[in-house]
Chains A and B, each alone.
Chain A
Amino acid sequence: MIPQEISETLKARFGEAILEAKLEGVLNPSIRVAPERVQDIALFLRDDDHLLFDVLMCLSGVDYTAGKLGVVYHLDSMKRSHKITLKVEVTCDNPRVASVQSVWRTANWHEREAYDLFGIVFDGHPDLRRILLPDDWEGHPLRKDYRVPEFYNGMKVPY
């Protein structure tokens, strides 16, 4: 399927949850969806016979600045050989996105990483804890407004 058809299919099925589609003039066509519906949409994308997106290639957290965070899902279908990018946007005050780890297991660690480095909370994730940083780390370093703490556990950080 070409990206236009994928976008039409999703709009027909999910209506208002599909917020915006950028399909022309970009390197990877993308569709922006509502953060609370992303799990239903993911399940549909994986199981629908014409779509069959069986691989979640990458899940990335992004800090768009101005109080907005985002999650980007790059999907690939081995059987149908087509790709699509899903995007969601949330605010820094309420960074909650539905977890897709029950749809693609690979999302489990990716979501933990996005939680660790951006502080995005994935609703429905069974084991949402830090993955790369120590458990007692404060703050989320990949946010653009992050400041390196002066002390870690009472020890002065050298720079």
Chain B
Amino acid sequence: MEETLTQSAGVPGFARALKSEEIVINMGPQHPSTHGVLRLSVIADGEVVVDVIPHMGYLHRCFEKHCEHMTNYQQVIPYADRMDYVAAMSNEFGFVVAMEKMLKITVPERVEYIRVIMAEFSRIVSHLIAIGTYGLDIGAFTPFLYCMRDRERVLDIFEQTCGARLLYNYMWVGGLSHDVQPNFAERSKDFCTYFRPKIKELNDLLSYNKIFIERTANVGVLPADVAINYACSGPVLRGSGVKWDLRKNDPYSVYSALEFEIPVGTGAMGKVGDCWDRYMVRVREMEQSVNIIEQAAAKLPAGDVQSAIPKRIRPDAGDVYVRTETPKGELGYYIIADGSASPFRVKVKSPCFVNLSALPAISRGAMISDLVAILGSVDIVLGEVDR
């Protein structure tokens, strides 16, 4: 206090009493805006964020250790479901693609098309949750209910196909656990017809809402070179204007036979790479997913979905890194096989983990209330961050 008084000696009037110091505020692990159990130590100077230190691990379930203790590779899939639990189909997809590459299996076309439809459905589901809860963070309650309503329709299709609404164990190495119901293609197309106008409704309600734009435009700007250096992926990378999508740039499955565009952030409401851009990339991706589902449902070939499932999964010794584009970004599986029936090592490169690591870089200098908006725009699922 003495020191402060001496320093401010000579400052006239009330300014002498003003004193600024940094305080540490704890956000989480129980906090509505953290979308799960994440703790942020926020070093704040008044309302301004000086630095953010994320603390994770509250949801660490030793996925990688569990994998090493499985008695066969197939058993990994239900655990993979539980990483990004709002888009479980995408997690399975990455793992089976990696295993099929290792085993040099070619799966029937029908399986590939069904997988693509499921992966795109799960992209829509994941983005609906991201968008709905993002609205909640900002203070818009109604869009959340609209998003949940549409999400239910997709979950109904999943339920009809494999009995589960959230954690499916549907994609198996070499095939699928069940064939789809006879009305699957029809139902998928019906959903697309239903959902297109709903995206417009969502835009009218939230995306171009003045209050929403003012809370998100010019906030949390992530420049493209920083995004690349942090290896960000998915909507976070594309929001910064980088046209990069593994479905086009490193194609797997049958994506090269389907036509779609890669939406990127353009800075339409503020700067390129702000929260609004990241948000809008998700909305536009849902439109593209609808296009993909329509094409794939129209092309869906006949066939047996279990003909290529191997009796025994025992890959030769070796390692493989395979990445796929999940709703959150690049999900990579690094699998080492030692010639036995269970994996020697499975490492998951989680897009949420990597995208979250860029959070401190884009939050410095923001207001505390904007920190909530920035975190929401990164769209993390703690199940995947902590594994």
Answer yes or no: do A and B interact.
yes
How many residues belonging to A are interface residues under a CB distance threshold of 8 Å?
Answer: 30
Query: Which residue from B101, B320, B323 sits with its C-beta under 8 Å from A57?
Result: B323
B183 to chain A, nearest CB (A): 39
Assess the A57–B349 pair: CB atoms within 8 A.
yes
**Interface 9-residue window, one of A2-10, A32-40, A127-135:** A127-135
Query: Which residue from B318, B347, B349 sits with its C-beta under 8 Å from A27?
Result: B318
Assess the B60–A54 pair: CB atoms within 8 A.
no
**Interface 9-residue window, one of A12-20, A90-98, A101-109, A151-159:** A101-109
Interface string of A104-118 (1 = CB under 8 A from B): 111011000000010
Assess the A27–B101 pair: CB atoms within 8 A.
yes
Interface assignment of B117: CB less than 8 Å from any CB of chain A: no
Assess the A133–B230 pair: CB atoms within 8 A.
no
Q: How far is the CA of A133 from the CA of B239 in the complex (A)?
A: 32
Interface assignment of B302: CB less than 8 Å from any CB of chain A: no
By beta carbon, the residue of chain B nearest A116 is: B57
How many residues belonging to B are interface residues under a CB distance threshold of 8 Å?
Answer: 35
Assess the B65–A142 pair: CB atoms within 8 A.
yes
Assess the B60–A132 pair: CB atoms within 8 A.
yes
Q: How far is the CA of A109 from the CA of B231 in the complex (A)?
A: 12
Given contacts A56-B231, A142-B65, contact A134 B320 (CB under 8 A): no
Interface assignment of B137: CB less than 8 Å from any CB of chain A: no
A34 to chain B, nearest CB (A): 20
Residues in A lying within 8 Å of B, measured CB to CB: 26-28, 54-58, 60-63, 72, 74, 78, 81, 85, 104-106, 108-109, 117, 130-134, 141-142
Q: List 26 A-B contacts (CB under 8 A).
A: A27-B101, A27-B319, A54-B228, A54-B229, A57-B323, A57-B330, A57-B349, A58-B332, A58-B349, A60-B334, A60-B345, A60-B347, A60-B349, A62-B347, A74-B334, A105-B230, A105-B361, A106-B229, A106-B357, A108-B357, A109-B353, A109-B357, A131-B57, A132-B386, A132-B387, A133-B60
